[in-house]
Amino acid sequence: MRIAIGIEYDGTGYNGWQRQKSGTGVQEILEDALGRVADHPLEVVCAGRTDTGVHATGQVAHFDTTAERTTRSWLLGANSNLPDDVNLTWARPVPENFHARYSAVARTYRYLILNRLNRSSLYRRRAWWVHDHLDVARMQAAADLLLGERDFSAFRAAGCQARTATRELRRLDVRRNGDWLALTVTANAFLQHMVRNLAGTLVAVGSGEREPDWARFVLESGDRTLAGVAAPAHGLTLVRVDYPGELGLPSPDVPDLLPGMPA
């Protein structure tokens, strides 16, 4: 039997998603907790691996099991064995050919920026503090130039192992709510560090360091060294993974800002 799960986690204390030889990955924590419920070892496969310090409110994964449990038992049983910073939000049986990564049709990330003179103690691990004023209109003008199916080589990490850098960027919105800026990014798939590199480039435009047209120049160059700095990992959250509707999996809403953020 194959089970799909929704996962929420604070990535601060983890070395990313993947099980690690040294340090702890979210995958390891989940496999241990779910294995206790199943009463046998199992492997959890996620929709998108997240880096060290990156968070998730809408991660999706699947695992195979011979254990017969209700969805309630998977949910409550796993959560009772998980630390407070990792949590299952739902569990559903799925067809055997379902794959959390390869069945996904889109992924959405949120990058959060605190834009004011003073930093925040409470949100220091959830948002990038930028004290220079950021012009949202300039950032959105640059963002619009990056939409579509493009070669995003200029926005991939040097160590990215993806076979192709072509991705379809479907949404790149910049919204301000008081001192908070939220970048919402949707694509069919992402390259390693792609969202963080996009965020760093848009911040360079918003601060006046670069003009909006520079974003198109960087994209067309295919040269990572020409783009902005990689934004810190702790501002990034995986908020949603979309699948074909016939699977009937939950599709969480993506609010203008993350829950709990000041208006």
CATH of residue 146's domain is 3.30.70.660
- Whether residue 211 lies inside any domain: the answer is yes
Whether the CB-CB separation of 227 and 154 falls below 8 Å is answered with yes
Residue 260 lies in a domain: no
If asked whether residues 92 and 111 sit together in one domain, one would say no
| DSSP code, position 105 | -
User: Same structural domain for residues 183 and 172?
Assistant: yes
Task: Kindly indicate the confidence band of residue 23, based on its pLDDT and cuts at 50, 70 and 90.
Answer: confident
Residue type, 168: E
CB 258 within 8 A of CB 237: yes
Of 51, 85, 173, 179, catalytic: 51
Residue 62's DSSP bridge partners are 4, 45
Specify the pairing of strand 106-114 against strand 128-129: parallel
Pair (52, 149) in one structural domain: no
pLDDT, average across residues 175-189: 96
Asked, for residue 259, whether it belongs to a domain, the answer is: no
pLDDT at residue 162, as a whole number? 84
Same-domain pairing of 233 and 114? yes
Q: Are residues 116 and 226 in the same domain?
A: yes
Is the pLDDT score of 187 beyond 90?
Answer: yes
Segment 208-215 shows an average pLDDT of: 96
> Do 117 and 10 share a structural domain?
no
Same domain, 9 and 114: no
| pLDDT, position 100 | 97
Predicted pLDDT of residue 262: 45
DSSP 222: T
Residue 52: pLDDT above 50? yes
Percent of the chain with pLDDT over 90: 85
Angle at 163 between CA 160 and CA 165, to 5 degrees: 70
Whether residue 20 is found in the same domain as residue 74: yes
Instruction: Answer yes or no: is 164 within a domain.
Output: yes
pLDDT of residue 259: 45
The count of domains in the chain is 2
**Domain final residue pick, 103, 119, 141:** 103
The reply to whether 254 falls in a domain is: no
200, pLDDT greater than 70: yes
Percentages helix, strand, coil for the chain (3-state, rounded to 5) are 25, 25, 45
How many angstroms from the chain centroid is the CA of residue 207? Answer: 24
Which residues are 94's β-sheet partners? 2
pLDDT score at 53: 94
Please provide the average confidence, as pLDDT, over all residues in the chain.
Answer: 93
Domain end: 51, 85, 103, which one? Answer: 103
> Which amino acid, 99?
H
> Is 203 domain-assigned?
yes
Same domain, 6 and 96: yes
Do 175 and 121 lie in a common domain?
yes
Residue with tokens 């989940």, as numbered in its chain: 30
Q: What is the CA radius of gyration of the chain?
A: 19
Is 51 known to be catalytic? yes
Identify the pLDDT of residue 256.
60
Residue ending a domain, choose from 103, 136, 159: 103
Instruction: List pLDDT tens digits, range 225-245.
Output: 888 899 999 999 999 999 998
By DSSP bridging, strand 148-151 and strand 166-177 are antiparallel
CB–CB of 168/94 below 8 Å? no
The whole-number average pLDDT for the span 150-162 is 90
Q: Residue 26 is part of a domain; what is its CATH number?
A: 3.30.70.580
Using DSSP, state whether 239 is helix, strand or coil: strand
Query: pLDDT at residue 255 above 70?
Result: no
Lowest-pLDDT choice from 38-47, 85-94, 253-262:
253-262
d(CA 226, CA 154): 7
Asked whether residue 15 falls in the same domain as residue 111, the answer is no
Helix (H) or strand (E) holding 76: helix 71-81
* Structural domain containing residue 16: 2-103
Does any domain span residue 61?
A: yes
| Residue 30 sits in the same domain as residue 67 | yes
Extract the runs of DSSP E, i.e. beta strands, from the chain.
2-9, 45-46, 55-64, 86-94, 106-114, 128-129, 148-151, 166-177, 180-187, 236-242
The answer to whether residue 179 sits within a structural domain is yes
Distance (Å, whole) CA 105 – CA 60: 12
